[in-house]
Amino acid sequence: MKLTVRPINNSDGVLIFLLEKENYREQYYKYRNLILMINDQNYYCLKLLFNDKVIGYALLLKSGPDLELIRLTIKKSEQHQGYGKWFLQYLLTTLEFEKMFLEVNTINIIAQKLYQDNGFYIIRTIDNYYGQSNAIVMEYKK
């Protein structure tokens, strides 16, 4: 398999927006907001390609020496094949940071396991963060 990571550019905006809507039906970023993030130097906006086809993306916010992983998304038809794990490990080993934080829905057991298996640990819970469900805040230290 030929996986590569490249920066997201404006011409990727529509495709990233469609992946966003596919994976986050009620809490997706609007197209305009994605374009703003793509063009903001405070964000890492990266796409995951398999044989030059976009199959995922990551959005990370820079905060001093730390990063917040806002999105780690794999196209639904490509999930459960190890791409998310590969992409996460790429981010953890390639990007420069001291700590990386993220929030994950308490009902998203698969994502929680992915993060914990890769060195993240739970630091707190936020009640009703996702409307009816809670968020788990996790941290990874280099």
Give the tens place of pLDDT for each residue, 32-84: 999 999 999 999 999 999 999 999 999 999 999 999 999 999 999 999 999 99
Q: 13-28 pLDDT, tens per residue?
A: 999 999 998 988 776 7
Answer for the pair 106, 81: CB distance below 8 angstroms, yes or no: no
The rounded mean pLDDT for the chain is 94
Flag whether 97 is in a domain: yes
Flag whether 137 is in a domain: no
Mean pLDDT of 95-105: 97
Q: How far are the Cα atoms of 4, 42, 135 from residue 79, in angstroms, in the given order?
A: 16, 28, 22
pLDDT for res 130: 84
Mean pLDDT of 81-101: 98
pLDDT for res 29: 84
> 15: domain CATH number?
3.40.630.30
Pick the more confident residue, 128 or 89.
89
Domain that holds residue 97: 3-101
Nearest by Cα to 3 from 58, 52, 60? 52
pLDDT for res 28: 76
Flag whether 87 is in a domain: yes
With cut-offs at 50, 70 and 90, classify the pLDDT of residue 91: very high
pLDDT at 1 over 70: no
Flag whether 20 is in a domain: yes
Answer for the pair 122, 134: CB distance below 8 angstroms, yes or no: no
pLDDT for res 4: 98
Q: How many domains does the chain have?
A: 1
pLDDT for res 70: 96
